């Protein structure tokens, strides 16, 4: 069930059937099969995917329902896969789920009561082709974005390794105006104002999203030490552990939660260089450690202060930072195109799967295909 995504198939993890097991050929997947996730958490149960021969041979297990449609109504099974992934269908399927938050199920007898729009067979094919074209564009942008990120990771590894030559090596704390420290704002210990607070989950991909508008009731010296200044670098301790970013001008004067670490580099260490270094595989290996008794990865600020770093001249730091900033810009541009393509597809689904926008029926209306919803869907 972990392979069932919305429309597509997630192959990041594949389970295999032992050679000693005998599997019925009736459970083998074939192109165009519509797969329904019958059991999962309450948020994930009812996911629907369309199988497009992502693997040469594959079978579905007992948590998956393969839905077959009557030829009287179905011109293309892919259409029904998309129809079951519309916002309206997802909401209606969620209402059918029974069970707890962690384990929920949608039973076949309830699923069969679900109403879906049924246009003519030819229009089903046209809608499926149109939405599949959108999926191909999204997939290509996802692959390209992942490729650019991998290239950037390789660049970081090489640049920081080369920068070690003739670099000044010491503990990170020696290059900071004050040792790396935690924020002091606790959850719930604030009142709403116009002052943002940056949380661990706000730091992602080298940037900081706008923080939650709030400020602590405390005005102690300790609190003032963590008010963000120009040139500060913050690192997420939870949420996305290890994610680091330079504080932008818009967040100068803001505060940080206890889930964020604060680093203030001195004049020998450029903030942009430090943030890129902390986000690199080379840097993260030194300060990201498994939590005691747990597989969870955490940031230990004591280890962060003690980690050995090789700092080249500020000119070399600036050149490395500029190169990586260009790579970030390229990735951000691709991510924006991807977000736009996904938004366009969502809009297309809303229009095409509700009948608000009709595609030309080049083959003519097929007799007996309007379905139970009637000629007006």
The predicted-structure confidence for 221-267, as pLDDT tens digits, reads as follows 667 788 899 999 999 988 788 999 999 988 888 888 888 999 999 99
Domains of the chain: 1-116 (3.90.220), 118-165+316-377 (1.10.287.1120), 168-311 (3.90.220.20)
Q: Considering the entire predicted model, what is its pTM?
A: 0.77
**Phi, psi values for residue 97, rounded to 5°:** -70, 140
pLDDT digits (tens, 9 = 90+) for 290-340: 776 666 777 888 888 898 888 999 999 999 999 999 999 999 999 999 999
For 76, 132, 335, the CA distances from 69, given in Å and listed in that order, are 9, 19, 37
> 6: which residues sit within 8 A by CB, 6+ positions away?
47, 48, 49, 85
- Distance CA(19)–CA(295), nearest Å, equals 32
**Residue 299 near residue 288 (C-beta atoms within 8 A):** yes
- Distance CA(189)–CA(233), nearest Å, equals 23
**Phi, psi values for residue 98, rounded to 5°:** -125, 150
């Amino acid at each position: 069930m972990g392979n069932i995504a919305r429309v597509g198939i997630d192959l990041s993890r594949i389970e295999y059937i032992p050679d000693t097991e005998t599997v019925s050929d009736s459970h083998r997947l074939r192109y165009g099969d519509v797969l329904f996730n019958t059991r999962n958490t309450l948020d994930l149960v009812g996911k629907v995917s369309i199988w497009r021969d992502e693997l040469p041979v594959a079978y579905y297990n007992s948590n998956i329902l393969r839905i077959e449609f009557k030829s009287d109504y179905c011109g293309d099974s892919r259409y029904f896969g998309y129809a079951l992934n519309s916002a309206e269908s997802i909401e209606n399927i969620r209402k059918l789920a029974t069970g707890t938050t962690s384990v929920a199920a949608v039973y076949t007898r309830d699923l069969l009561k679900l109403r879906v729009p049924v246009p003519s067979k030819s229009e089903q094919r046209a809608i499926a082709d149109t939405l599949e074209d959108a999926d191909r564009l999204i997939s290509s942008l996802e692959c390209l974005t992942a490729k650019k990120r991998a290239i950037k990771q390789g660049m970081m590894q090489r640049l920081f390794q080369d920068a070690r030559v003739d670099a000044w090596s010491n503990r990170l704390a020696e290059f900071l105006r004050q040792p790396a420290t935690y924020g002091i704002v606790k959850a719930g210990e604030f009142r709403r104002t116009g002052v943002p607070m940056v949380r661990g989950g706000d730091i992602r991909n080298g940037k900081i999203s706008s923080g939650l508008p709030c400020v602590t009731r405390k005005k102690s010296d300790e609190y003032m030490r963590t008010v963000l200044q120009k040139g500060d670098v913050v690192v997420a301790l939870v949420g996305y552990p290890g994610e680091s970013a330079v504080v932008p001008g818009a967040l100068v004067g803001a505060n940080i939660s206890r889930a964020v670490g604060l680093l203030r580099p001195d004049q020998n260490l450029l903030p942009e260089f430090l943030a890129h270094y902390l986000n690199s595989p080379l840097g993260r290996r030194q300060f990201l450690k498994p939590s005691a008794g747990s597989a969870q990865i955490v940031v230990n600020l004591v280890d962060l202060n003690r980690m050995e770093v090789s700092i080249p001249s500020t000119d070399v730091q600036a050149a490395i930072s500029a190169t990586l900033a260009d790579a970030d810009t390229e990735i951000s541009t691709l991510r924006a195109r991807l977000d736009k393509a996904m938004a366009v597809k969502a809009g297309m689904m809303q229009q095409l799967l509700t009948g608000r926008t009709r595609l030309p029926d080049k083959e003519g209306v097929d007799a007996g295909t309007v379905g139970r919803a009637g000629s007006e869907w």
